[in-house]
Amino acid sequence: MQDVLAMTYYWIKAGHIIFMVFWMAGLFMLPRQMIYLHSAAPESEEAALWAKRMGLLRKVILTPSVIVVWVLGLLLAQSIGAWSQGWFHAKLAIVVALTAFHGMMVARSKKMAAGERPMTEKQLRIWGEFPGIALAIIVVLVVVKPF
């Protein structure tokens, strides 16, 4: 297995980065779409359109991307022996937090699509910053490997 991972390492790494970009794009877009839905009157045509867009974003981009990112990321970690490295533990903790954020936002977007408004626009704007901050920290951890 280790030989196969070594031969395909760069392909796995490329796939991991590509799907991480897709996932992050979706995580940036979902709170923004929720803000647009927030101002639409429940059960209006505009609300239905934003609910449909959020559903497509979840189904086409977010869910497949998070699955591929995790699978390829775990393969990469195995292939480079990252389990014993401090930077990887920090990165993994942030990725777990991003995955929890993903789940929280998906659940809240579904509630919003059903007509509820579980968060204010201000809360959505604040939460919308989390993926960018997490991404910046992850990039520093992976590139610099400070510990």
- Please, are residues 47 and 41 in contact by the beta-carbon 8 Å criterion? yes
Largest separation between any pair of C-alpha atoms in the chain: 57
Neighbours of 138 (CB within 10 A): 19
Angle at 144 between CA 143 and CA 147, to 5 degrees: 125
Q: Is 38 annotated as a binding residue?
A: no
Q: Is 89 annotated as a binding residue?
A: no
Bind-site residues for heme: 16, 91
Known binding positions = 16, 91
